[in-house]
Amino acid sequence: MVISSDIALLAELEPVAATLLENHYAKTKEWHPHTLVPWSRGKDFEEGYEWSPEEFDMPDEVRSALFVNLLTEDNLPYYFRDIERMFGRDGAWGEWVRRWTAEEGRHATVIREYLTITRAIDPVALERGRMAQMGGGEVPEPETASDGLVYVTLQELATRISHRNTGARITDPAGHNILRRVAMDENHHFLFYRDMAKAALEINPSMVVKSMEKEILGFAMPGTGIPEFAKHSKAISAAGIYDLQAHYEQILDPIVLNFWDLPNIEGLDAEAEQARDRTVTYIEKSGRVAKRIKDRKEAQAATETITI
């Protein structure tokens, strides 16, 4: 049930949601998971089968990214629960929630089928991870619709970045194409939420800026219920698949500072002004750390080139 304090905001945003939903239908293309999976490479799993990483040549950090990405997608029932709670089940909002859920469902289907066919990841560990992840039902739970619009914008874009960078590191064309297709879906979802948050800013800038502080300073990718999540996250970050540099350069700077134009939003109350100042300070600090990470990577790459 939608939080009562959000009803007025969602009602005012309903025409925008309807327009953005129509844009989404117009820009997205139908695709089918079964056409992307290399079925001819599959074979039965014989009794007593034990997986070995030698079955599929893939860096460990890419396996970590695929493991986390898939188990995150598997947790869709809980995301649906919260998305419907925040935005409702009626009108354009409800139609969007159902459409988003249907499209997200394809991601788990196609990635799981690819990993099973190719044996790129231990299928037993993957299934045990799925059971643990869904058994816990642990997902981010933004308190309000405004919080949710900010969070899902960040999260959908971060997911797109992670899928795309993972796919770029898969030398197998089938895997590369699957992650590219999934990333394209995530980009369409990101655009819907980004523009909805922008519209909400025009209605109640103080409320949304306070949400920005809460969700940006406390942002974390979903997946904390995944077994050994910290270990996998560290590997993903170290490989540059998704790290603070990507978070700053592709999310905080272009979306928060520029598209939403956080530093120049007008009409804020005193509390929101303070929230804006704290958020901008945090982003500036993130930018400095991101630059150090980038400089370190470039220095390392230069050293490796000279060594070779």
> Is pLDDT of 296 > 60?
yes
Question: What is the CATH classification number for the domain harbouring 126?
Answer: 1.10.620.20
pLDDT band at 221 (very low <50, low <70, confident <90, very high): confident
HSE of 37, CA atoms in CB hemisphere, 13 A: 19
HSE of 62, CA atoms in CB hemisphere, 13 A: 19
Q: What are the residue ranges of helices labelled H in the chain?
A: 7-27, 60-74, 76-87, 91-118, 123-136, 145-168, 173-203, 205-217, 229-238, 244-247, 270-307
The model's pLDDT over 226-268, given as tens digits with 9 standing for 90+, comes to 999 999 999 999 999 999 999 999 999 999 999 999 999 999 9
The model's pLDDT over 10-38, given as tens digits with 9 standing for 90+, comes to 999 999 999 999 999 999 999 999 999 99
**Per the domain annotation, does 120 fall within a domain?**
yes
- How many Cβ atoms are within 10 Å of 102's Cβ, its own excluded? 11
Average pLDDT of the chain, as a whole number: 94
pTM of the model: 0.93
Domains held by the chain: number: 1
> Is pLDDT of 220 > 90?
no
Q: 219: alpha, beta or left, given left = phi > 0 and alpha = psi -120 to 50?
A: beta
Give the separation between CA 12 and CA 203, rounded to whole angstroms. Answer: 8
Over range 114-137, report the average pLDDT: 95
Over range 275-301, report the average pLDDT: 92
> Is pLDDT of 308 > 90?
no
Over range 184-199, report the average pLDDT: 98
> Is pLDDT of 64 > 90?
yes
**Per the domain annotation, does 62 fall within a domain?**
yes
Backbone phi, then psi, for 26, in 5-degree steps? -70, -30
pLDDT band at 140 (very low <50, low <70, confident <90, very high): confident
**Per the domain annotation, does 269 fall within a domain?**
yes
Over range 64-87, report the average pLDDT: 94
Kindly calculate the radius of gyration of the chain based on its CA atoms and give it in whole angstroms.
20
Over range 216-226, report the average pLDDT: 87
> What is the pLDDT at residue 306?
63
> What is the pLDDT at residue 307?
60
> Is pLDDT of 199 > 80?
yes
Q: Which domain covers residue 115, as residue numbers?
A: 4-42+57-296
Sign of CA dihedral 181, 187, 188, 193: positive
- How many Cβ atoms are within 10 Å of 110's Cβ, its own excluded? 24
> Is pLDDT of 302 > 80?
no
> What is the pLDDT at residue 290?
94
The model's pLDDT over 160-169, given as tens digits with 9 standing for 90+, comes to 999 999 999 9
**Per the domain annotation, does 50 fall within a domain?**
no
pLDDT band at 222 (very low <50, low <70, confident <90, very high): confident
Amino acid in position 269: D
Q: Report the C-alpha dihedral over residues 163, 255, 240, 158, rounded to 10 degrees.
A: -30
Over range 65-73, report the average pLDDT: 95
> What is the pLDDT at residue 280?
98
Backbone phi, then psi, for 258, in 5-degree steps? -105, -60
The larger pLDDT score, comparing residue 295 to residue 26, is at 26
**Per the domain annotation, does 286 fall within a domain?**
yes
> What is the pLDDT at residue 3?
64
> Is pLDDT of 1 > 70?
no
Do residues 251 and 75 touch, judged by C-beta distance below 8 A? no
